[in-house]
Structure 1
Amino acid sequence: MTRSEKEQLVAELSDAFGQANCVVIVDFKGMTVKEMEEFRKIGYEAGLGARVIKNTLANIAFKNAGIEGVELIDTNMAVWGEDPIATAKAVAKYAKENDKFVIKSGVIDKQPVDAAKIDEYSKLAGREELLGMLLSVWTAPLRNLAAGLDNLAKKKEEEAA
């Protein structure tokens, strides 16, 4: 990789890390190319970016994005996305399916976090689930009113008969 290619890669990653609300660092040592492509496909479907990157280039990209305190050792893949919960869910799900895919650390809202925090985020309700719960709460009074009126109508019919 030439110097200009490295500079371009660092610029792209700095931009991606700066815009992402969640970056997860995973170890992929021992994974086959097929397994890596399988994860990339899952990540693409979830709207995530994923890249294997040298630690020095990743450290420069994190620094350029204004993120401090991320330690990178050994082999690393960075996975990033807009929604921290969706990102954590996708990574944690694949980590459960493949024991060679190990969550090491990450960054959520520009703050470094450990693997346990990412696992906690993966167990939270996602945006769609929360919107469904909110909609259910909003429509509950109307459902109750409709059920009450229906019961009243049935009662009046029984009394009339």
Structure 2
Amino acid sequence: MTREEKAKIISQLQDEFSGDMAIVVADFKGLTTKKLEALRDAARATDVKVQIIKNTLASIALKNSNKDGIALKDTNIFIWGGDALSVSKVAAKFAEANAEFFKLKAAHIDGEVADAAKVVALSKLPSKDELIAMLLQVWNAPLQNFVIGLNALKEKKEQTA
């Protein structure tokens, strides 16, 4: 790889890392290509990016985008995106399904370096759509109960008449 290619990769990663909220680093040693493609497919569905990057190039890009503090050693795969919950859910779900070959190492979430436990904890939180659905259910419950009560009153009146 030439210097120009490396510089191009670093600048591209730096642009992507500086705009994104969450970056998760995981060890993928021993993972088959088929399983890596399954991870990429799951990530693509939620608008999350997955890429294997050389540690030196990734560390330079992370440092230039003010997201340093993650120690990069051995084999690493990077998972990043604009939504911290989506990134965490993709990474934690895949790590749970492939525990022997895929291990979460560290993350950079909302300007802070985080460990694997925080990524797993974030993955268990409900998404924005799920929270909206819960809120709508709470708002809808009094109306639904009122209609059920009126219907029961109507049936009772019909039975007595």
**Which TM-score band (shorter chain)?**
over 0.9
CA distance in 2, matches of 1:138, 1:62: 44
Alignment root-mean-square deviation, CA: 1.3
CA distance in 1, matches of 2:149, 2:33: 60
Residue number in structure 1 paired with 2:92: 92
Give the superposition deviation at 1:114: 0.3
CA distance in 2, matches of 1:133, 1:62: 37
TM normalised by structure 2 equals 0.92
Give, as a single letter, the amino acid of the residue that structure 2 aligns with 1:68: D
Residue number in structure 2 paired with 1:77: 77
Is the aligned partner of 1:103 residue 2:111?
A: no
Give the superposition deviation at 1:156: 2.0
What fraction of aligned residue pairs are identical, expressed as a percent?
43
CA distance in 2, matches of 1:29, 1:65: 27
Give, as a single letter, the amino acid of the residue that structure 2 aligns with 1:118: V
Residue number in structure 2 paired with 1:137: 138
Is the aligned partner of 1:22 residue 2:22?
A: yes
> What is the aligned length?
160
Give, as a single letter, the amino acid of the residue that structure 1 aligns with 2:103: V
Give the superposition deviation at 1:106: 0.4
Give the superposition deviation at 1:120: 0.6
Secondary structure of 1:16 counterpart? helix
Give the superposition deviation at 1:107: 0.9
Give the superposition deviation at 1:89: 1.2
Residue number in structure 2 paired with 1:59: 59
CA distance in 1, matches of 2:20, 2:140: 34
Give the superposition deviation at 1:158: 2.4
Give the superposition deviation at 1:111: 0.9
Give the superposition deviation at 1:40: 1.3
Runs of 4+ in structure 1 over 4 Å off: none
Give, as a single letter, the amino acid of the residue that structure 2 aligns with 1:13: L
Is the aligned partner of 1:123 residue 2:102?
A: no
Give, as a single letter, the amino acid of the residue that structure 2 aligns with 1:81: G
Structure 2, unaligned runs of 5 or more: none
Give the superposition deviation at 1:59: 1.2
